[in-house]
Amino acid sequence: MKTKKALLVIDMQKGSFTPDTPRFDTNGMVQRINGLAKVFRQMGFPVVFIQHDGNGTGEFEKNTWEWELLDELHVGPADIRLDKYANDVFYNSKLQAMLRELGVTELIITGCATDFCVESTVQSALVKDYDVTVVADGHTTGERPHLSAEKVIEHYNWVWQNMIPTKGKITVENCDTLIKKAADTAYN
């Protein structure tokens, strides 16, 4: 049986990409996510844009400017939009039920921020027995007190490559490699 994949795009929202919260390689990352999303749509796999909903906290409140997705992201008409309420996308959201309903067994994870929402979601997906692929150049973060954003990204890519999964598997691959594999699959 063919594995059904879903592309998760986490927290690529305007409020996370301000002059006060610059992110590493934002433009390049948006281009890579757009390219990967295009391939997923062509293959009939779901693309899920996940947006943090402040849910009364005063930050990232639904339908505010900071809650909106970046204008540069290409969101297709059939793409799924999902609210999240904590770092872990699975927490109190409809993600798990939706993935089961769609028959998804493999998650390709991208987004912001590497060391918060992306990391929490990767960990959660592993203990839920998903096969997980983190897009090595498809997640970003900001400068941290003890590490540059680039070093945080490098560190987590290393951590994920060395994790012990449960029943699923975890890999870390560059966007170009994933797009090439998808093209090879489509022609075989």
Percent of the chain exceeding pLDDT 70 equals 97
Could you report the per-residue pLDDT of 71-85, keeping only the tens digit for each? 999 999 999 999 999
Could you report the per-residue pLDDT of 26-65, keeping only the tens digit for each? 999 999 999 999 999 999 999 999 999 988 888 899 999 9
Helix (H) / strand (E) containing 42: helix 26-43
* Residue range 80-103: mean pLDDT, rounded: 96
Q: How far is residue 106 from each of residues 4, 36, 127, 170, 184, measured CA to CA in Å?
A: 6, 15, 13, 10, 18
CB neighbour list of residue 158: distance below 8 Å, 6 or more residues apart: none
Please give the Cα distance from 127 to 131 (Å, whole number).
Answer: 10
DSSP per-residue codes, 73-128: S---TT-EEEEE-SSSTTTTSSHHHHHHHHT--EEEEEEE-IIIIIHHHHHHHHHT
Angle at 53 between CA 41 and CA 127, to 5 degrees: 65
pTM of the prediction?
0.96
**For the chain, which domains are there?**
5-186 (3.40.50.850)
Smallest CA-to-CA distance from 138 within 68, 35, 43, 14 is with 35
Determine contact, residues 27/130, Cβ cutoff 8 Å: no
Q: What is the pLDDT of residue 112?
A: 98
Residue with tokens 């390219």: 35
